[in-house]
Amino acid sequence: MRVTTITVYQVDLPLNEGRYSWADGKYVDVFDSTVVAIATDNGITGFGEVCPLGPFYLPAYGPGARTGIAELAPQLIGQDPTEIGNINRFMDAALLGHPYVKSAIDMACWDVLGKETGKPLCSLFGGRCGEEVALYRAISQRPAAEMADNVRGYRDQGYRKFQLKVGGDANDDIERIRAAADVLQAGEVLVADANTGWLAPDAIRVANAVADLDVYIEQPCGTYEKCLAVRERTALPFILDENIDGLEMLLRAHHDRAMDVINLKISKVGGLSKALQIRDLCVSLGIPMTIEDSWGGDIVTAAIAHLAHSTPPSLRFSATDFNSYVTVSIAAGAPQRQNGAMRASTAPGLGVDPRSEVLGTPLAVYSG
């Protein structure tokens, strides 16, 4: 099988809540998503999506994804998309770094392989584990009382796991965590995610001030070393996200006992292939994971569902249904949340059918 055409689309994804806010006053109103379609000479087309969380969350941004794809796509014409190891080695040799650029291409190749073999990706990723995948809800940064109200509201929609966006003023964040903890019910999970927004002394102050609560602290500071310094001074369970950007960092952090849980984002590590490598290593090492991406619509949500649903439930801390945060559906067949959980499709590949009227006119078409 050979790649004949790679088509690139850009889609705006506005938010149901109007605005998503997190650490350091950062926010996004409309997400800039890129969809890639890889067509082959046997009639199969695979789809992938990459959607950075604005230009200032990770070293990634929407136009950057498309510029990188423009670099790689012409070189991929004629290659076999089902030889995904070769495709990834080729991309890594052709473009150093820029892992997020490769994510949508890798995802589309997996979709082709699933369609070619007639299997859903979660079967190719090791097999379906359990009935469904429990989801967390990110609680956008707002004043404390509003965030507590939003925890209640999203509980009514079925969520039992809540990730508070903190990383602002330390005193305000202590209030936010306490207000949310006050409305928590038995069995629910609360995470305070600073998204790198705290200085180490503030992070230590917050962790000390909420030490009596049942709460996880996630990615308090920007650098790994600062996070480790905070980790060593709190007994609260600890999650690393932004710093775990590949296998090397996972191994280092595991060796240092730097975290109890990681947050595995597909595009942050360069695509489903590399996320699988990390996922499988975490399963072997007994490290629980939140499985998600930086952001996305229906195609990213489907990819998350397959990766998460093929992960043993005991090591699946949570996952995300990004398609329920946004007002636009870019594909039919994507997982739909029910009672705070989702299921991977049983259809071949990702199991999604992109809506051409929503994708609109391609930004670019690459062919031989």
Query: Which residues are catalytic, by number?
Result: 165, 265
Residue ranges in 139-198 that form contacts with Mg ion under rule CB under 5 A: 193
Q: Does 293 bind Mg ion (CB under 5 A)?
A: no
Residue 331 contacts residue 36 (beta carbons within 8 Å): no
DSSP 97: S
| CB closer to Mg ion out of 66 and 268 | 268
- Nearest CB to Mg ion, comparing residues 294 and 311: 294
- CB of residue 242 to Mg ion, shortest distance in Å: 7
What percent of the residues of the chain are helix, what percent strand, and what percent coil, each to the nearest 5?
40, 25, 40
Question: Distance between CA 316 and CA 213 in Å, rounded?
Answer: 22
- Position of minimal CB gap to Mg ion: 241
Query: Six-digit token pair at 44?
Result: 């199969």
Position 196, amino acid:
T
Q: How many residues bind Mg ion (CB under 5 A)?
A: 3
The C-alpha atoms of residue 3 and residue 64 are separated, in whole angstroms, by 23
How many Cα atoms occupy the beta-carbon half-sphere of 120 within 13 Å? 23
- Give min distance, CB of 231 to Mg ion, in A: 15
Distance of closest approach, residue 166 Cβ to Mg ion, in angstroms: 11
Question: Nearer Cβ to Mg ion, position 263 or 310?
Answer: 263
| Smaller CB separation from Mg ion, 32 or 193 | 193
**Bridge partners, residue 136, by sequence:** 161
Least distance in Å: CB of 290 to Mg ion?
Answer: 8
How far apart, in Å, are the Cα atoms of 206 and each of 22, 141, 152, 213? 16, 16, 23, 11
Q: How far is the CB of 158 from Mg ion (least distance, A)?
A: 21
Residue 241 binding Mg ion, by CB under 5 A: yes
- Please list the alpha-helical segments (H only) found in the chain: 62-76, 84-94, 99-117, 121-124, 144-156, 170-182, 200-209, 224-231, 247-255, 272-285, 298-309, 356-359
| Three-state helix/strand/coil letters over 303-357 | HHHHHHHCCCHHHEEEECCHHHCECCCCEECCCCCECCEECCCCCCECCCEECHH
Residues 249-278 that bind Mg ion (CB under 5 A): 263
202 binds Mg ion (CB under 5 A): no
The residue (of 110 and 198) whose beta carbon lies closer to Mg ion is: 198
The one-character DSSP state at 286 is T
Q: How far apart are CA 286 and CA 280, in angstroms?
A: 10
- Residue (72 or 240) nearer to Mg ion, CB: 240
Min separation Cβ 191 and Mg ion, Å = 8
CB 194 within 8 A of CB 203: yes
Residue ranges binding Mg ion (CB under 5 A): 193, 241, 263
